[in-house]
Structure 1
Amino acid sequence: MLVLRSLLFNIAFYANLIARLVLYLPLLALPRPWLMAAVRDWARSSLWLLRVIAGTKAEFRGLDLMPAGGCIIASKHQSLWETFALLTIAKDPVFVLKRELSWLPFFGWYALKARMIPVDRGKGAPALAAMAKRVGEEIAKGRQIIIFPEGTRRPPGAKPAYKYGVVHLYNTLDVPCLPVALNSGLYWPRRQFIKRPGTIIVQCLPPIPPGLSRLAFRDRVAAEIEEASNRLIAEARQTGGTPAPAHAGVA
């Protein structure tokens, strides 16, 4: 049954995505807010399909902690799930993403129209400077910058590998940073076909105000996200569902 439900969900998920990529093409000629509203509707529909077909629910905690106006949202990254689910909780989100994704047909067109921010991770400091400039422009418009500080998906419980990008943004911009913990990798594991029933939990943590030193911010944002994510993993194992095994290092 788990395999069948996962198969049906994957078919529905990608059919829904492809259909909307085509249906939304006229929005490329309209103002950006129209496209953002449509993208959020797609994200909500994907969460609905996941809940109805695969039995995987979503619970968002601490949304009242979201700063008003422009901010950095620094999220744990375990799964493809949060790349669309986080679109539903921010007022006007913008992702920092790998430059190569902006080259893709359809996806790249929409990313550019939505003013997502591509970064060439191979260029080091110049790429960080260019990213910070673009982020500053979007922050000034009151948007929320969503960044995955580890840069790529990490299995639940894996040793954290935080990059310098989020530290550079925090040090450059005079805005708060909202740490976000989650346990999505237990139910939508990276590079796996299976989608497991249960409840994915996203926990927004108290914002980190601007003004900390680089070292203090780096240690604080990593510690808070990791500690909260580990708690969510432990909670998932105590409350039922069929989560995937966590990486070695997490009980």
Structure 2
Amino acid sequence: MTLARSILFNLAFFLWTVLLALVTWPALLLPRGATVAVYRFWSGGVAVLAAAIVGIRSRWIGLDQAPRGPVLYAAKHQSAWDTITMPGRLDEPAVVLKQELLRIPIYGGFVRRWGAIPVDRKAGASALRTMVADAKAAAAAGRSILIYPQGTRVAPGVSAPYQPGIAALYSQLGLPVVPVALNSGLYWGRRSFFKRAGTITVELLPAIPPGLDRREFLRRLEAATETATDRLVATAPTSAPPGSG
């Protein structure tokens, strides 16, 4: 059943995305609010398809605990599900993402109009300066910022370093940082065709206040995020391996 449901979901996901893009691309010519509405409608449709076809649902913990005003969300990243779902659930933050995503036809246009912060990972120090400047502009406009500190999707149980971007934003923006733990990779795997039934849990952790030195900040961020993520992975109901059933 896992194989059949995965085939059906991936086909439905592709058709839903393409058809909606073809119908709604004129929203790119309208004010930003129209783009945000389309993105929310698209991600909501993906959630409906995932629940109906595969049995993937989500549970959010601590959404009402985040500080008011702009914050810096530092989220664990295990799956494409995160990038599809998080922007809409976290009140439309400016998302730090790799520049290549802006080259995807129509999707890239929606992401740009959303007000994302693209990063050219080949540009080195200049990329950090541009990212910080864009994030400062977003925060000045009253928007939060969402960054995936490890810079890429990391499968459950796999270690990966936290990149310099999160430390640069923390030191330059002076915003509280909200660590975000999750276990999405158990059900919607990193670069995996297979999808498994289950409930993805996303947990917003207590905010880290601004003003710490770089080393202490990174220590607290990594310890909080990794400990909570390991707990969410370990306590999640077991499921069959991909391709079984």
Shorter-chain TM-score bucket reads over 0.9
Select 1:242's aligned residue among 227, 239, 244.
Answer: 239
Partner of 1:138: 138
Partner of 1:86: 86
Amino acid at match of 2:27: L
Partner of 1:248: none
Partner of 1:117: 117
Q: C-alpha distance in 1, partners of 2:240/2:84? A: 20
Q: SS of 2:200's equivalent? A: strand
CA displacement at 1:122 relative to structure 2: 1.5
Q: C-alpha distance in 2, partners of 1:213/1:29? A: 44
1:40 aligns with 2:36: no
CA displacement at 1:87 relative to structure 2: 2.0
Q: C-alpha distance in 2, partners of 1:24/1:54? A: 26
Q: C-alpha distance in 2, partners of 1:156/1:133? A: 32
Partner of 1:249: none
Q: SS of 1:91's equivalent? A: coil
| Cα-to-partner distance string for 1:155-202 (whole Å, 9 max, x where unaligned) | 101013210101100000011111000001110111211100111100
Q: SS of 1:60's equivalent? A: strand
TM-score (norm. length: structure 1):
0.93
**Unaligned 5+ runs, structure 1:** 246-251
Contact 1:79 1:184 in 2 (8 A): yes
Amino acid at match of 1:125: A
Q: C-alpha distance in 2, partners of 1:66/1:77? A: 19
Q: SS of 1:122's equivalent? A: coil
1:153 aligns with 2:153: yes
Contact 1:79 1:188 in 2 (8 A): yes
**Aligned runs of 1:12-91 on 2, under 5 Å?**
12-91=12-91
Point out the more displaced range, 5-14 or 88-97. Answer: 88-97
1:97 aligns with 2:97: yes
Partner of 1:203: 203
Contact 2:184 2:200 in 1 (8 A): yes
Residues 92 and 191 of structure 1, relative CA distance in 2, 3 Å threshold? closer
Amino acid at match of 2:223: A
Contact 2:136 2:173 in 1 (8 A): yes
Contact 2:78 2:155 in 1 (8 A): yes
CA displacement at 1:243 relative to structure 2: 6.2
Partner of 1:231: 231
Q: C-alpha distance in 1, partners of 2:232/2:56? A: 15
Q: SS of 1:210's equivalent? A: coil
Paired residues, what number? 242
**Aligned runs of 1:157-172 on 2, under 5 Å?**
157-172=157-172
**Unaligned 5+ runs, structure 2:** none
Contact 1:180 1:202 in 2 (8 A): yes
Q: C-alpha distance in 1, partners of 2:152/2:91? A: 24
| Cα-to-partner distance string for 1:181-232 (whole Å, 9 max, x where unaligned) | 0001110111211100111100000111111111111111111110000000
Q: C-alpha distance in 2, partners of 1:111/1:243? A: 35
Task: List structure 1 segments (4+ residues) > 6 angstroms apart after TM superposition.
Answer: none
Q: C-alpha distance in 1, partners of 2:108/2:23? A: 16
Q: C-alpha distance in 1, partners of 2:240/2:75? A: 20
Q: SS of 2:122's equivalent? A: helix
Superposed CA RMSD:
1.4
TM-score (norm. length: structure 2):
0.95
- Percent sequence identity over matched residues? 43
CA displacement at 1:138 relative to structure 2: 0.7
Residues 229 and 49 of structure 1, relative CA distance in 2, 3 Å threshold? same
CA displacement at 1:66 relative to structure 2: 2.2
Partner of 2:176: 176
Contact 2:39 2:110 in 1 (8 A): no
